[in-house]
């Protein structure tokens, strides 16, 4: 394992490249990560709310527009 002190001696450009490489490797293996229980609980609660009131849902295009406008 690389020591943090050793990483800090690298030029910023190399540290950024290392960071990018680490993120890429995590993305490649993300399916092996366990799902966080709080995330699972939230997804189940949202599904239950939607199933109880399907009319409360909106189209993806509407959700995206709200997110981009800061209204979400």
Same domain (yes/no): 29, 45: no
> Which residues constitute the domain of residue 24?
1-33
Same domain (yes/no): 17, 43: no
Q: Which of 29, 2, 6, 7 is nearest to 17 (CA)?
A: 7
- Non-local (6+) Cβ contacts of 15 within 8 A are 7, 8
Count how many domains the chain has: 2
Same domain (yes/no): 65, 44: yes
3-state DSSP percent of the chain in helix, strand and coil, to 5:
75, 0, 25
What confidence score (pLDDT) does residue 66 get? 93
Same domain (yes/no): 42, 29: no
Query: Sign of the CA dihedral 64, 69, 71, 72?
Result: positive
User: Is the separation of the CB atoms in 72 and 63 below 8 Å?
Assistant: yes
Q: What is the pLDDT of residues 7-66, one digit of tens each?
A: 999 999 999 999 999 999 988 888 888 889 999 999 999 999 999 999 999 999 999 999
What confidence score (pLDDT) does residue 72 get? 66
């Amino acid at each position: 394992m690389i020591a943090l002190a050793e990483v800090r001696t690298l030029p910023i450009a190399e540290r950024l490249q290392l960071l990018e490489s680490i993120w890429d490797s995590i993305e490649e293996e993300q399916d092996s990560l366990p799902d966080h229980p709080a995330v699972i609980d939230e997804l189940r609660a949202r599904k239950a709310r939607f199933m109880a009131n399907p009319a409360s849902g909106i189209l993806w295009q509407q959700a995206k527009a709200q997110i981009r406008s800061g209204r979400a």
